[in-house]
Each structure stands twice: as structure tokens, then as C-alpha cells.
Amino acid sequence: MSNASRVVLVTGGSKGIGRTMAEAFRDAGYRVAATYRSGGVPDGVLGVACDITDQGQVDHAFDTVEAELGPVEILVANAGVTKDTLLMRMSDDDWQQVIDTNLTGTFRVVRRASRPMMRGRFGRVILISSVVGLLGSAGQLNYAASKSALIGMARSLTRELGSRNVTANVIAPGFIATDMTAVLDEATIADYTRRIPAGRLGAVDDVAAAALYLASDAAGYVSGAVLPVDGGLGMGH
């Protein structure tokens, strides 16, 4: 079986990087499902309503995909949020919301995906982290902590499930133009752009191309890796 006919689930497929990844997998011939909370998912993609902070909704989303398309063979854990503020002003709620979505939410979907992958003796887990998880970022202590934790998660998963033909990798995007970064002021964007060797912000397609590679037959022996898609911003980390 070519990987391009396998079943993919992208979390957070309503917009931004997740939406573009769902479209890219669809266009490459995969059978694609995507979760959404608000908005919808692209045409030709099975939409499943799901808030990843709720285990019941995660289970229901997977049950629906399994009934409609079959077991999830490629999981792209993309859903994520920011709640930026300096440490001294960071409330328990700012911390908890980000950890519960980016880290515990990812754990919930990975755990639900793992058993069918083990049974099927095939799985590709792709976790969307961030350059910030490696470099750190003032005002993003919660976000950076949640994103660096995904590296430990992918590498532990590689050790647990590697012998079952399940790979787990991390994509660490740099600064990508989406709603998440649209809230930043011009001075911050200009400062980032100066620090990016490529001299430009990344595009959602840049991240989608990396996800397609990690899901492909060609990447079957790549596991526990962190693939930066950041124009060189995080080099050396």
C-alpha cells in the first residue's frame, strides 16, 4: 500500500497551518479527516467537531473517523493556542489553558491513536511544536514549555512503538503568517524578520511540505527527529 491512500487525521484543521496541511494531504490522495471547533474544514475533508481539552470529544472524533474512513494511520497533532504574557503576570489560568491544549491535548489524541496503530502495525505521528520550544521566548513561558515537551513525547513514543512500525516526529515551525501571528505588532514582526536568515516569514505551505514528507514512504526510517521549518531562525538548537 502506498502511504498516499492512508487515513490522516489533522487536529485544528479549521484554519492556518492545520487547514493547509489537510488540503495538502487531500490533494496528494490521502483520505483526510480534520477536527474543528469553530468554522469548518476544507472541501473533500471529513470534518469532526472536537475540543482536544475534552477526552470524550477526542474519543468521539476518532470513533467517527474510524466508522467513516477507517483507523487513523497518520496523526498530525497540530491544534494549539498561545496565551502570552511575562512570567510575573502569568496567571494559573494562562498557564493551564496552554498546557491543557498544547501538551495534554496532544497526549489525549496520541494516546487514542496509538492502539489502532499498534494493531495495524503502521503509524505516523507528527507533532507540531515550535522554534520557541527550542529557543525560549520572553512572554511565552507557558507556550515554550508546552512545545518543548512535545519533543520528549515524540522520542518516548519512538522508543515505545518503534518496533511496531510506528514513527513519531516533531515539526518545529518558525514564524509562520497565520491568525496566531497576526496579533503581533509591526515592530515585533520586523524584529523577527531581521533574525531569520531566510529574510522572510514562513508560509503555511512550507510546514505542509514537511508534514507530507514525514508521512511519506520515503520517511519510514525517520523517527524521533525534530524537523525545523524556520528559515534558519533556530539553527543550532
The answer to whether the Cα torsion of 34, 38, 41, 42 is positive or negative is negative
Q: Work out which of 6, 26, 33, 36 binds ligand NDP, going by CB under 6 A.
A: 36
Q: Contact, 176 vs 201, CB < 8 A?
A: yes
Near ligand NDP by CB under 6 A, which window of 1-9, 14-22, 61-69, 118-126? 14-22
83 binds ligand NDP (CB under 6 A): no
Q: Contact, 26 vs 1, CB < 8 A?
A: no
User: Which positions ≥6 away from 221 have C-beta within 8 Å?
Assistant: none
- Cβ 163 to ligand NDP shortest distance, Å: 29
Select from 49, 24, 56 the least CA-distant residue to 34: 49
- Cβ 18 to ligand NDP shortest distance, Å: 5
96 binds ligand NDP (CB under 6 A): no
SS3 at position 120: helix
Could you list the active site residues?
Answer: 143
62 binds ligand NDP (CB under 6 A): no
Residues in touch with ligand NDP (CB under 6 A): 11-12, 14-18, 35-39, 50-53, 78-81, 101, 105, 128, 130, 173, 175-176, 178-181
